[in-house]
Amino acid sequence: MEPELFARRASSFGAAAADYHRHRPGYPVEAVAWAVGDAERVLDLAAGTGKLTEALLDLGIEVTAVEPDERLREWFHRLFPDVAVRDGTAEAIPLRDACVDAVVVGQAYHWFDQAAAIPEMLRVLRPGGVLATLANHDDQSVPWVAELASLATTSIGPPRNHAARVPEHPGLKPPEQVQVHHAQRRTAASMLETVKTHSNVSQAPAAERAEVLTRVRDFLSANPATSTGEFDRPLITTVIRAAKR
C-alpha cells in the first residue's frame, strides 16, 4: 500500500468513533484471558474506543491505555472514566521502562511501524512479560460471509481479514497462537453500518463507496441468512502472543 493511502486508512477511525464503537465486535473473554495469562498490569496499546479494555476489565486487570487519536480518546474516556488513557503511539509509548506485565494490541498491530514499535513495547514490558495481538476477522468458511467480503472489496483493497503476526525478534520467545470462534448479533442494517466502518470502504472514492454499499445492502436484503431480523455474524478471534526473554 502506498504511504499516503496507508496513513489515510490508519487515521480514518477517529472520524467515525461512535459508529466504530457501536458496530465493531468486541473480544471473547477467553481469548483475552489466554493472551495475558497471569498479568496484573496491562497496557492496551492503540486502544481505540476501548473494545479490548472492556474485556480486560471484566477479568479484573489493571489497565493503562494509549491511543494517538484525540477523538477516539474522548470516546474511551467517556466509556471508561476510571481508566487512564494517554496520548501516544506504539513507536513512542509514554510509559516508564518495565512497568507492565503485558502489552496487548487489538485490531491495530498492522498499522504500526514494527521496527520502531517492537523495541518500545519491549521497553515497557517487565522481563517475562507478554506481547499479544488480537484480531477479529470474519469466518469466510461460511459461504455467505465470503460472498459479503467479496462484495465489500474496493479499489483500495479488501476488508482486512487477517491477524498481524508478531514477528521473530531476539527479544521475544517464539510466538504462540490460538483461535476462538464466536459471533456478533447483527441485522442487515447494522451489518451495513459495520461495513461502513472498514477503512477500505470509508476511504474509497465517494462514487465507488456508494456503489459498494448498494451492492452490500442488496445482498444482505436478499440473502436468506441475513434478510429476516437478527442473525449471527460468524467471527474468529486470532490471538498471537510472545513472551519477553
- 14 DSSP 8-state letter: G
What is the Rg, in whole angstroms, of the alpha carbon atoms belonging to the chain? 18
Q: What are phi and psi of 111, to 5 degrees?
A: -90, -5
Instruction: Specify if 98 maps to a domain.
Output: yes
Enclosing domain of residue 38? 3-138+159-183+234-243
Instruction: Specify if 220 maps to a domain.
Output: no
In this structure, which amino acid lies at residue 50? Answer: G
Instruction: Specify if 165 maps to a domain.
Output: yes
Q: Is the pLDDT of residue 6 over 90?
A: no
1 pLDDT tier (thresholds 50, 70, 90): low
Instruction: Specify if 147 maps to a domain.
Output: no
Q: Please count the structural domains in the chain.
A: 1
Instruction: Specify if 197 maps to a domain.
Output: no
Edge to edge, the sheet with strand 231-243 lists: 84-86, 62-66, 41-45, 100-106, 125-138, 231-243, 176-186
Instruction: Specify if 93 maps to a domain.
Output: yes
Instruction: Specify if 97 maps to a domain.
Output: yes
- What CATH number did the domain enclosing 47 receive? 3.40.50.150
List all residues 6 or more positions away from 57 whose beta carbon is below 8 Å from its beta carbon.
63, 80, 83
Read off the pTM.
0.88
Q: Is the pLDDT of residue 189 over 60?
A: yes
Average pLDDT rounded to a whole number, residues 53-74:
96
Tally of helices (H runs) and strands (E runs) in the chain: 10, 7
pLDDT digit string, tens, across residues 157-187: 776 655 556 767 899 999 999 999 999 999 9
Instruction: Specify if 208 maps to a domain.
Output: no
